[in-house]
């Protein structure tokens, strides 16, 4: 299905804002790790502590920038907009309510009116949507072609391109998130265990020079934090459940 230009704009904006949010989070983690390494006082020079202060300042700057721009909000809102447009598009192509008019011109008018309402309620996303496929038609030739097809053909198209495709997508995402949850959680546990082993060695023989545990703690906390931000376990469960629900359809 070739979707309206508004869907493409919202989809691109959502993906871009998601990537921006995750890049900022990764930058914070890297800067915090560098700060933990620099906290070991590896050099008494002023330049060393100048770098230490600069790393802390950059970390604070990234946090402030993320808090002000809130890319995660635009990410979620643009995704909701894209999914709303997708749902309306399929209802239009399938001649479902409220697009069950006998005349195509009336259905197009109803579709355009609803699209205008959706766009009006999402005007705060204007800057994120600007410059992305704004010239594309909002009623595509493929939408009209499917709409003009016989009922049986429309049902087959909906089953294959909507139901089956969605189910495959949810199943794939469920497997991917389940696998990622195990990998990232395992790495976090390994980092904690490594730090714990360094401490146990000092307990057995305090005379042994201590290994720096601060960077390991930051790494472990970052790995666990990344797992929580990405919500691997929650998404794996949600995607699996949704795939089963679609299968029942």
Question: What DSSP character marks residue 27?
Answer: H
Beta carbons of 193 and 181 less than 8 angstroms apart: no
pLDDT at 220 over 60: yes
pLDDT digits (tens, 9 = 90+) for 19-68: 999 999 999 999 999 998 888 888 888 999 999 999 989 999 999 999 99
CA gap 14, 81 in Å, rounded: 9
Do the beta carbons of residue 12 and residue 25 sit within 8 Å? no
Using alpha carbons, select from 185, 10, 190 the residue that is nearest to residue 85: 10
pLDDT in tens, 151-176: 999 999 999 988 898 899 889 989 99
pLDDT of residue 248: 67
Residue in the structure block whose two tokens are 């049902």: 155
The CA–CA distances, whole Å, from 249 to 75, 99, 196 equal 29, 22, 50
Whether the predicted model's global pTM rises above the 0.85 cut:
no
């Amino acid at each position: 299905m070739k979707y309206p230009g508004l869907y493409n704009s919202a989809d691109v904006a959502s993906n871009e804002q998601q990537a921006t949010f995750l890049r900022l989070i990764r930058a914070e983690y890297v800067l915090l790790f560098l700060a933990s390494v620099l906290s070991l006082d590896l050099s008494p020079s002023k330049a060393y502590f100048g770098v230490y202060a600069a790393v802390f300042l950059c970390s604070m700057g990234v946090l402030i920038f993320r808090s002000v721009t809130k890319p995660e909000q635009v990410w979620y809102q643009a995704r909701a907009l894209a999914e709303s447009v997708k749902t309306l598009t399929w209802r239009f192509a399938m001649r479902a309510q409220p697009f069950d008019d006998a005349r195509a011109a009336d259905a197009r008018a109803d579709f355009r009116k609803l699209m205008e309402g959706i766009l009006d309620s999402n005007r705060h996303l204007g800057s994120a949507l600007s410059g992305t496929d704004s010239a594309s038609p909002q009623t595509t030739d493929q939408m009209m072609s499917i709409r003009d097809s016989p009922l049986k053909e429309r049902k087959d198209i909906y089953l294959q391109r909507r139901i089956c495709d969605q189910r495959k997508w949810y199943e794939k995402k469920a497997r991917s998130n389940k696998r990622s949850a195990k990998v990232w959680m395992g790495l976090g546990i390994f980092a904690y265990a490594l730090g714990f082993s360094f401490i146990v060695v000092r307990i057995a023989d305090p005379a042994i020079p201590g290994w720096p545990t601060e960077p390991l703690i930051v790494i472990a906390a970052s790995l666990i934090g990344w797992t929580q931000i990405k919500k691997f376990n929650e998404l794996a469960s949600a995607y699996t459940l949704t795939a089963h629900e679609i299968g029942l359809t």
